[in-house]
Structure 1
Amino acid sequence: MSPRVCKACGCAEIDLDQARGNAVCTSCGSVLEDNIIVSEVQFVEGSGGVTSAVGQFVSSDGPEKAPLLGSGFHTSIGKESRAQTLQNGKRQIHQLGSQLQLNQHCLDTAFNFFKMVVSKQLTRGRKMAHVIAACLYMVCRTEGTPHMLLDLSDLLQVNVYILGKTFLLLSRELYINAPAIGEIKTHDH
């Protein structure tokens, strides 16, 4: 069987959640397949008399062995995918934000930006790391932290111009007025 590749971003890191019957790109959060059906099911008795279903998934890429379906097997309609995208985004924001030593307020604000990006479906076709970095940089600009886009570029080992392009697009689409670099927030009396 050939390895799965995301049609949206080209990433080969695909999370096949056999319990939910879906395949999700770990990079951009796109659902590649859902409602994966089972061709045959057998029931086996495990330790303590627990019965589990064992089957074989049938997908567009061909069969893939499913070790245990269990009682939690159900089809996904998209809410799980969005929730999973938000959960992964929050985790990545906290990881990258802690490396930048951002406070909890900044992390929460970045996550709010990320939720807006997801709700407007702006993650499609973009790498999740780039979107996360852009959301964090929006916070850095709006809160006036001393971080530069180059700091995020160095942490992620991504070209700064690619991150800049993502940042500009997302801030424009979300109508976020990010102050120019070097603008100091002062109150004249």
Structure 2
Amino acid sequence: MVENYSNDYDVKCKLDACKTYPAITDSERGEIVCGGCGLILVQNLADASYENNGYTQEDFMKQARTGPATSLTMFDKGLSTVIGSNKDSSGNALPSKTKYEFNRLRTWDQRSKSRKTATLSKAFTLLHSMKTKLSVPDNVVENAAYIYRKIVSAKLTRGRTMASLISASLYAACRENNIPRTLDDIAKAGNVERRILSRDLRTIIKKLGLNLNQYDTASFISKISNNMNLKETTKRGAFDILKRCEEEGITAGKHPVAQAAASLYISCVLNGERVSQKRVSVEAGVSDVTIRNRTVLIKKILKLDE
């Protein structure tokens, strides 16, 4: 069926004689042609038509012609060939000869997959397990899968473990999306050494040219306070202390997690909430000596009285 020109595609014929003629959209051929000379202006249009309404499972299975959305977190992006069970469309068992042929097809389908495909499958399985442990959003996992595919394409996997590269990709994705996860959190979830993770992270940042933003220190205050079930008043007081520290310029060059933990500890003391430095250090993942030093500096500069 030939429809009138839609404004979704702003195309016009360049001939002067065709300026008065409209462009015509041919949905069956997926083309936009000039109404004057017949010149094809656009080819391979995407089919934006809607599916027929199906209110039962049977109608949906008959009328639906599209599958789930593709995802970078799947080794085949969700476009794999799946050879089902040994039953036909009616649910009846296949004859023995046909069943043997389908078994051979499954075997050759499995053998025809490249080594890269098998490696991606294992890597993304690990990525999904780390997603569950760290409770990161889906968009961060998609970004991590994209970074890991770039690592594989750049041939940076030689001499490096898959777990370390997946962990480094996830940490880089968290940094890009400002999701507060430290190197220690990622290393623990991926079961890799922090030293190796840090080394591989520096490599992929240099080779891939990644530009990772610094974490927002305030996000670590929310994370630590939620894990410790602190009062909302204490959390807001920590935000105010951190804001005053930034105004005084004493946060530059300091570890953001340690700065957030020190601000939160001072707020706990000022609001009468009994929390030890040891407990804050355990939740934050930094030493209590670091928190003590940051606390002394903040109290001195801001002139806070307990």
| TM-score using structure 2 length | 0.35
Question: 1:148 aligned to 182, 186, 195, which one?
Answer: 182
Q: Percent identity?
A: 24
Shift, 1:114, TM fit? 0.8
**Which consecutive residues of structure 1, in runs of 5 or more, have no partner in the other structure?**
1-47, 53-68
Q: Which residue of 2 aligns with 1:105?
A: 139
- The letter for the 1-side match of 2:125 is R
- The letter for the 2-side match of 1:149 is L
Shift, 1:87, TM fit? 2.5
Which structure dedicates a bigger proportion of its chain to helix?
A: 2
Shift, 1:171, TM fit? 1.6
| 2:180–2:215 Cα contact (<8 Å) kept | no
Asked if residue 123 in structure 1 is aligned to residue 157 in structure 2, the reply is yes
Q: Which residue of 2 aligns with 1:178?
A: 212
Q: Which residue of 1 aligns with 2:198?
A: 164
What is the alpha-carbon distance in structure 2 between the residues aligned to residue 163 and residue 134 of structure 1? 6
Which structure dedicates a bigger proportion of its chain to strand?
A: 1
Larger radius of gyration: 2
Shift, 1:100, TM fit? 0.8
What is the alpha-carbon distance in structure 2 between the residues aligned to residue 124 and residue 138 of structure 1? 20
Output aligned runs, 1:15-94, within 5 Å: 49=96, 70=104, 72-73=107-108, 80-94=114-128
Deviations 1:47-98 (Å, cap 9, x if unpaired)?
Answer: x75597xxxxxxxxxxxxxxxx945348968x62222222222222121122
What is the alpha-carbon distance in structure 1 between the residues aligned to residue 145 and residue 211 of structure 2? 17
| 2:163–2:192 Cα contact (<8 Å) kept | no
Identify the structure with bigger relative contact order (alpha carbons < 8 Å, sequence gap 6+): 1
- The letter for the 2-side match of 1:123 is T
Residue 157 and residue 92 in structure 1: after superposition, are their counterparts in 2 closer, same or farther (change >3 A)? closer
What is the alpha-carbon distance in structure 2 between the residues aligned to residue 75 and residue 90 of structure 1? 18
Deviations 1:89-136 (Å, cap 9, x if unpaired)?
Answer: 222212112211111100100000011011111112211100100000
Shift, 1:172, TM fit? 1.4
What is the alpha-carbon distance in structure 1 between the residues aligned to residue 174 and residue 147 of structure 2? 12
Shift, 1:179, TM fit? 1.8
> How many residues are aligned here?
123
**Which consecutive residues of structure 2, in runs of 5 or more, have no partner in the other structure?**
1-94, 220-306
What is the alpha-carbon distance in structure 2 between the residues aligned to residue 96 and residue 114 of structure 1? 14
